[in-house]
A and B are shown apart, each in its own frame.
Chain A
Amino acid sequence: MAFLQVKNVEIKGIATCVPKQVKVAKKMPYFTEVEADNFTNVTGVVSSHVAPAEMTLSDLCQAASEKLLAESGWERESIDLIMFVSTSRDFYICPNTSNILQDKLGLRTECVALDLPFACSGYVYGLSVAGMMMQSGQIKRALLCVGEMTSKNQSHLDKTVWSLHGDAGSATLLEYNPKAKHPMQFNLGGDGSGWEAIICREMGVRNMTTEESLKYKKYEEGVERNATQCAMDGMSVFSFAITRPGQCIKGLCEHFEFDLTQIDFLLIHQANKMIDEKIRHKLKLAPEQVPYSMTYYGNTSSCTIPITMTSKIREQLSARENELVMCGFGSGLSWGSAHVFTDRIISLEPIELG
């Protein structure tokens, strides 16, 4: 486990954006009647948002950023860093999507642009990397764009992933403040031996995409996909998810010596309700401390923490100080947790695009 402490950096605002179109989880042809009935009980997901063909994640992040910049009154010239944390890049190899966003948002060419291709653990990693880059004060303002457009790399014929996931993008404003009251604290880890647990196997340079890669194969009833699309070993992911995130959060509390039961909210990656409830029970937290947003957004990968913030605790974030613990975990395998204070930040209702 790697512990990091970032001083002098604060979250100032957050906005999220989803495509307007909704997919209803249980109304999918691959489910048997029993499976459809069980699905929402187990995962907690009723529906989620899905993008049309022409829309990308950077479009969602751009819309969230525009709204947030307008609300904050920050001049575009004042942004020194734009980071894009996602595996849903506009172009998988190059260029970086952060470069494209820098141009589209009209940010300065002196602004540092950086992509971090993380999946579900991405929000915590993005916050830690941006924070580390900012804490000495040379970079004073940053725009952190985080999210995923899972519909682009998943098969709509694969019941193990399609109904669970949704598309969403976010933007977070970070600012250097030498008078910040609280540091941001992190515990980051990973286990590459689990690299095959969530994988797009023939997308990239290890296994180049061929004509064969694009042919759909049926693995079992209700599970059809091609080799470029995301495949998830549900059982391995489940056993990882009910153990590592809890340990990661406990490690964070012990190292930085704070009492988890006293925090306002645990913002946990919305993997699915069964997993998140097991984590909550292990950590002995009350239901009201652990808000769930998966009901109408699904698992939006790295965007689940921002979506929970903007859809479930928006008023609390705007009105008062909050002590938060965040935890993301997923493909890699990769995980991370953060202990963060916010004080009356801008938090905007999720925008719908399209």
Chain B
Amino acid sequence: MDLNDFIKNFAEQFDETDPSEIRPDTAFHDLEEYSSLIALSIIAMIDEEYDVVLKGDDMRSAVTVEDLYNIVCSRV
């Protein structure tokens, strides 16, 4: 698994947020466009791309994009 690919896939779930705003250390809950709907798109992307099923607590406990990446890595 590659962090840059993950960030690219992650950024694709947003419509208005510029991809350059999504970095490993981005606290994604604070992004203006982030919503429960975007969270569901991210969960679906992770299921489709990495075959990993996240729980609500995984999304809530991850602070940065890299945190989420690490959770996915640990379950691949």
Q: Which of A87-95, A141-149, A164-172, A238-246 contacts B (4 or more CB under 8 A)?
A: A238-246
Instruction: Give the contacting residue for B53; candidates A38, A197, A233, A239; CB below 8 A.
Output: A239
A100 CB within 8 Å of chain B: no
Q: Which residues of B contact A242 (CB under 8 A)?
A: 43-44, 47
Within 8 A of A (CB), among B1-58: 36-37, 39-40, 43-44, 47, 53-57
Whether a CB of chain A sits under 8 angstroms from the CB of B71 is no
Chain B positions within 8 Å of A197 at CB level? 56
| A274 beta carbon closer than 8 Å to chain B | yes
Partner of B56, one of A234, A243, A274, A278: A234
A239 touching B43 by the CB < 8 A rule? yes
Within 8 A of B (CB), among A240-254: 240, 242-243
Interface size class of B (residues with CB under 8 A): 10 to 19
- For residue A21, CB closer than 8 A to chain B, the reply is no
> CA separation between A269 and B60, bound complex, in Å?
27
A42 CB contacts on chain B under 8 angstroms: 37
Q: Give how many A-B residue pairs fall within 8 Å (CB-CB).
A: 36
Given A38-B37, A234-B36, also A278-B57 (CB < 8 A): no
A239's partner among B36, B54, B60 (CB-CB below 8 A) is B54
Chain A neighbourhood of B47, CB < 8 A? 239, 242-243
Q: Is A208 an interface residue (CB 8 A)?
A: no
Bound Cα distance A274, B37 (Å): 10
B59 close to chain A: CB less than 8 A:
yes
B43–A238 touching, CB < 8 Å: yes
**B37, A235: Cβ atoms closer than 8 Å:** no
A235 pairs with B55, CB closer than 8 A: yes
Q: Name the residue on B nearest A243 (C-beta).
A: B53
Tell me how far the C-beta of B57 lies from the nearest C-beta in chain A, rounded to whole angstroms: 7
Chain A, interface size category, equals: 10 to 19
Closest beta carbon of chain A to B34's beta carbon, Å: 13
Closest to B59 in A: A235
CA separation between A38 and B41, bound complex, in Å? Answer: 14
Q: How far is A172 from B16 in the complex, measured between Cα atoms in Å?
A: 49
Give the residue name and chain of the B residue nearest to A39 (CB). Answer: B37
Given known contacts A242-B44, A278-B44, A235 and B53 CB-to-CB distance under 8 angstroms? no
Taking the complex as formed, is A109 at the interface, i.e. its CB lies under 8 A from any CB of chain B? no
A233:B37 contact, CB within 8 angstroms? no
Q: Which residue of B lies closest to A240 (CB)?
A: B53
Which residues of chain A come closer than 8 Å to B44, judged between CB atoms?
238, 242, 278
Query: How far does the Cβ of B62 sit from chain A's closest Cβ, in whole Å?
Result: 12
For the complex, give the distance between the alpha carbons of A274 and B54 in Å: 17
Report A-chain residues with C-beta under 8 Å of the C-beta of B53.
239-240, 243
Of chain A, the residue at the smallest CB distance from B60 is: A235
Nearest CB of chain B from residue A240's CB, rounded to whole Å? 7
Please, how many angstroms separate the alpha-carbon atoms of A301 and B57 in the complex?
24
CB neighbours of B40 from chain A (8 A): 234-235, 238, 274
> Which 6 A-B pairs rank lowest in CB-CB distance, beginning with the nearest?
A235-B56, A236-B56, A233-B56, A236-B55, A239-B43, A239-B53
Q: A235-B43, A235-B59, A278-B44 are in contact. List 10 more A-B contacts (CB 8 A).
A: A235-B54, A236-B55, A238-B40, A238-B43, A239-B43, A240-B53, A242-B43, A242-B44, A243-B47, A243-B53
Q: List 25 A-B contacts (CB under 8 A).
A: A42-B37, A197-B56, A234-B36, A234-B40, A234-B56, A235-B36, A235-B39, A235-B40, A235-B43, A235-B55, A235-B56, A235-B60, A236-B56, A236-B57, A238-B40, A238-B43, A238-B44, A239-B43, A239-B47, A239-B55, A242-B43, A242-B47, A243-B53, A274-B40, A278-B44
Please give the residue numbers on chain A whose beta carbons come within 8 Å of chain B beta carbons, in ascending order.
Answer: 38, 42, 197, 233-236, 238-240, 242-243, 274, 278
> Which B positions have Cβ atoms within 8 angstroms of A?
36-37, 39-40, 43-44, 47, 53-57, 59-60
